[in-house]
Structure 1
Amino acid sequence: MLVLLALGVSALGGCSSLQSSDSTLLGLITPYRIEVVQGNVLTKEQVALVKPGQNRTQVRDILGSPLLTDTFHGDRWDYVFTIRRQGTEPQQRQVVVYFDGETLKSIQGAESLPAERDFVNSIDNAKSSRSPKPLALTPEQLKELPVPVQAAMPASAPEGPVRAYPPLERS
């Protein structure tokens, strides 16, 4: 009985050692992870278009619909964005928009937003080292290429049957 218990504990301990800290199995296999995107992507350029004094419709047209609207806090819209992509760091951002009645009062959290290009670069998991390099030949390789043969152009009129077509319209 004691032997079976020891064997079971060692087997479970072995299973936990198969999973390494970098989410790979045995250091070789990386399981597929679903890409999860939630909320609205907000950038500095979008938020710069929003000015205090604009109404709710104008703010919604620029930033999109908020992820959270609270019935108990009707003058507050929460824009939350999270993304988890394989090969990149997870990101989470939150912007809170405050209204005074129907007009925009202030925006909180906009200072931490990235520019659009920075955001695209942060989620791009394609490595620059993987990009194909353009093909180029050395001068020696260019000299070794065969010279293309140019077809001689006929100096006379084209050969073939001459046809007389009837007129398209009858007169």
Structure 2
Amino acid sequence: MAALTRFPHPVSSLLLMAVAMLAGCSTISSDGSLLGFVTPYRMEVVQGNVVTQDMVAQLRPGLSGDQVRTLLGAPLLNDVFHANRWDYVFTIRRQGTAPQQRRVTVFFENDRVARFEADAVPTEREFVASIDASKPPSRKTVLELDEQQLRAIPVPAPSRSAQPPQTAASGPARSYPPLETSAR
């Protein structure tokens, strides 16, 4: 019996593991980083059509469905119950940038654009800047000395043992053994 008291009960082992796992969950902060240092990889999710201000500016009542499809692309949502409504939705979740979602809805009457509704859409340049997750370039350190700093550097005196450089002799300076032995 004494040997059995040395090992914990299986239920207490499971309870201890559950408490340890819950304690590990509390170390994940609200921004998704672990202990504030390590950020797990999150897959980039891009869905839908990118619609820019230039595209919305060309959209006007009276365009046909084919013209809208040429201008904006195929709609992300084509509802069977609302055949006269096309929804262009764009979402992106990219690590290092804020998630984005935009919607452009085009309404048709008699196969022509009757009206459209659009969220605030960016210009192409603003869109590219908003998804750029690269870090801003760090400030480069200038490695140049001004005249005063150059004069402050001590110049060592030439040593007497220093010999002038010799000029290279003509022909090979060394003879190397052959790489392979000759078979006799």
Shift of 1:50: 1.2
Name the residue aligned to 2:56: 47
Question: Is residue 90 of structure 1 aligned with residue 99 of structure 2?
Answer: yes
Secondary structure at 1:93 match in 2? strand
Distance 2:84 2:51 in 1: 20
Number of residues of Structure 1 aligned to a counterpart in Structure 2: 141
Q: How does 1:49-64 map to 2 (within 5 A)?
A: 49-64=58-73
Distance 1:34 1:58 in 2: 34
Question: Is residue 18 of structure 1 aligned with residue 27 of structure 2?
Answer: yes
Question: Is residue 34 of structure 1 aligned with residue 43 of structure 2?
Answer: yes
Letter in 2 for 1:75: N
Unaligned runs of 5+ in 1: 144-171
Question: Is residue 127 of structure 1 aligned with residue 132 of structure 2?
Answer: no
Question: Is residue 99 of structure 1 aligned with residue 108 of structure 2?
Answer: yes
Name the residue aligned to 1:78: 87
Shift of 1:136: 7.6
Distance 1:66 1:136, change over 3 A: farther
Structure 1 vs Structure 2 CA RMSD:
2.5
Distance 2:110 2:58 in 1: 20
Distance 1:57 1:92 in 2: 25
Distance 1:22 1:52, change over 3 A: same
After TM superposition, which residue ranges in structure 1, 4 or more long, deviate above 4 angstroms? 1-6, 131-140
Shift of 1:127: 2.6
Unaligned runs of 5+ in 2: 1-8, 151-184
Shift of 1:51: 1.2
Distance 1:45 1:138, change over 3 A: farther
Distance 1:64 1:88 in 2: 25
Letter in 1 for 2:104: V
Letter in 2 for 1:61: T
Deviations 1:135-156 (A, max 9, x none): 785664xx9xxxxxxxxxxxxx
Q: Could you tell me the percent identity over the aligned residues?
A: 50
TM-score, normalization: structure 1? 0.71
Name the residue aligned to 1:118: 126
Letter in 2 for 1:101: N
